[in-house]
Each structure stands twice: as structure tokens, then as C-alpha cells.
Amino acid sequence: MPFFRPEPEAARQASGRTGVLLCNLGTPDAATPPAVRRYLAEFLSDPRVVEIPPALWQPLLHGLILRRRPAASAKKYQSIWLPEGSPLLVYSRKQAVLLRGWLGERGVDVSVRLAMRYGQPSVAAELDALKAEGCTRVLVLPLYPQYSGTTTASVIDAVAAWSRSVRHVPELRFVNRFHDDAGYIDALARRVHEHWMADGRPDRLLMSFHGVPQRVVDAGDPYHGECLETARRLAQRLALREGDWAIAFQSRFGRAKWVGPATQATLEGWGRAGLKRVDVVCPGFVADCLETLEEIAIEGRAAFQAAGGGELRYLPCLNNHPAWLAALASLVQTHLQGWPVGR
């Protein structure tokens, strides 16, 4: 017989509040090899992330990868760590707090909490907290603009796993994607425009998205197509001409074929071509993290310049930009329609 945990008093009283759970990928608790090892062990054990039979993958993960990779990754985290902690967690927490305020200004009274798919705060703990606040309806919003089984579906898996231990499961809704949302595209464009107004336009703009293995796309994952659509809409919104911009994919891991072109290879090619200044924006990330602050702003810049390029400027993610918070609030309001949210 399954074990169902006792319900918190607020949940038993069924006060009928509505909750919003923002969810981002995750981060180590500290920029140290042990913390990185714990984080990677959870992240790389998710079958949505690594589609290799566990009997084959787990010995490789624990026998080789988790012995070698944490120390190198910890050094990278140390290079971007903030006094308050991991940038991804710091910016994502601010987004959750500010979202509650933006919604409140619009007369929307809901509980807003942040979870990380891997690491802390966990999806289960934050859903427990929403139930303890009396929420009987929860909107789950993964902070991934483009849908992928490797990211968005994994959040849904985590919510489903939590629900199996809960006696009174709340009504649940999920925001699967917002890659073509007008507010999101506008926020990206305003972020880029602000930098160009202050420092001028580059020779070329690179839109870099996180990559996925080609087999994932071949199996029907819509992620690649949604990245292309985001890039097309952003280029249109910025009135860019063909040749002014390009799209590429970063963060390759392992020997399998990944979607391309690769970000580093693109930057090296631009360096060899002698481009004097390029800007890089990462539309697939709504909060700065290791993949943007270290992989692009440090490694990407070094690769571009080593190949003969001039200046590379990384444009920060949306983070706490007012245009993004307004777009996020509108996105939440759209998906809350039909649920009581007034004061």
C-alpha cells in the first residue's frame, strides 16, 4: 500500500488559494567539488536528460564522469559565483519575489514560489509549501521558453512524482512554452536595444541557445524548431537583415551528434574572418547562469579572440528587467484564467 504523507492543516481546511510555481533547472549549493558532484549526480541521472539505459549509463556516470568533472566544473562556478550565491538561484529568486509584486499591482493575489528541478529548493518541497499556504490550485511555469522533453517534461515528471505521495492533489496547470510570446520577444528586443543605444551596434549578433542531441530532435522533440522561431521573431523585432545575425547552439556534452551550428565553432569562424565586434545574446535562458556567464562571457570571448577576433560583448539575460517581469506577469495571468485570484 502506498504511503501518503499527512496533509498540512491549511490544506485540510482547503482555503482555496491559487499558487504559482516557477521552476528553473538547478544549481549546486556551493562552488565546491562535493556540491557540484551532488548536483551532477542528480541532474545526469534523470532519464529525460540522458537517454541511455541506466545499466549502461550509471557505471560510466559514477565510475568516470563524477570522478573527473566536478573539480573542473567547480572552478567554473567559482569564476561566476556571487556573494549571495549561485547567479541562477539569485536571479530566479528575485524574479519570483518581483512577480508576486507585479501581480499584486494588477489585483492578482496568488502565492508565488520558486523551485529548482535539480538541487534546492526542490519541486516537492515548494509544492508542499504551497499546500501549506492553503493552495488548492497550482500553475506550474517552467522557466524554459522553448519546450523540450529534456527540460519542461522533466519538470512535469517531478510534479507527477510528488503527487504520488500526496492524498489531496491540487488542480494543476502547466505552461509548456512561451517561445513566441509577444511580451517575451519584446523584452528580449528591449534588452538588446538598450545595449546598442549605449554602446552602438556590433558587426554581427549571435543568438546562442542551449543545445540538445540530434537524436532528441529526430525523435520528435520540438525544441530546435522553437529556438529557430524565437530567433526569427527576435531578428524581425530588431529589424535585422540577413547577415547581421546568426543562431548557434552551445553546451555540447559527449560524443553524440548535437544540433548545430555550434556556438564555439561559429565564434572561432567569425574570429578568423576578422570581425571587430560581435554581441552574443542567449534567448533560451531567462536568468544568467554558468552557461551564459562562464561559457559565453569567458570561454566564448577567449575562443573568439584567440581566433583573431576583436571585442565580444555578452548581453545579460532578462533577469529582473522590467519588460520581462511585465511579460511574465501577463503570461501568468493568461494561464490563470478561470481560477479565482482576486483579493
Phi, psi of 210 (to 5 degrees): -65, 140
Integer Cα distance of 285 and 187 in angstroms: 13
Q: Are 32 and 74 in contact (CB under 8 A)?
A: yes
291 is in an annotated binding site: yes
Query: Kind and range of the H or E element at 204?
Result: strand 204-210
339 residue type, one letter? W
Query: Kind and range of the H or E element at 254?
Result: none
210 is in an annotated binding site: yes
Determine the pLDDT at residue 155. Answer: 98
CA nearest neighbour of 329 among 146, 122, 103: 103
Tens-place pLDDT, residues 127-155: 999 999 999 999 999 999 999 999 999 99
Q: Please tell me the least confidently modeled range out of 21-30, 211-220, 254-263, 277-286.
A: 254-263
Q: Is 136 helix (H, G, I), strand (E, B) or coil?
A: strand
C-alpha cell of residue 19: 499558487
Domains of the chain by start residue, with CATH: 9-179+323-335 (3.40.50.1400), 182-314 (3.40.50.1400)
C-alpha cell of residue 77: 562556478
Beta bridge partners of 249: 209, 262
| pLDDT band (50, 70, 90) for residue 268 | very high
Structure letter (DSSP) for residue 25: E
**Hey, how many other C-beta atoms are within 10 angstroms of the C-beta on 172?**
15
Q: Helix H segments across the chain?
A: 9-13, 33-43, 54-60, 66-80, 87-105, 123-132, 152-163, 182-199, 214-218, 223-237, 263-272, 290-293, 301-306, 322-335
Beta bridge partners of 246: 206
* Average pLDDT estimate for 148-172: 97
Integer Cα distance of 23 and 95 in angstroms: 11
Gyration radius from the chain CA atoms: 21
Q: Give pTM, 2 decimals.
A: 0.94
Tens-place pLDDT, residues 278-335: 999 999 999 999 999 999 999 999 999 999 999 999 999 999 999 999 999 999 999 9
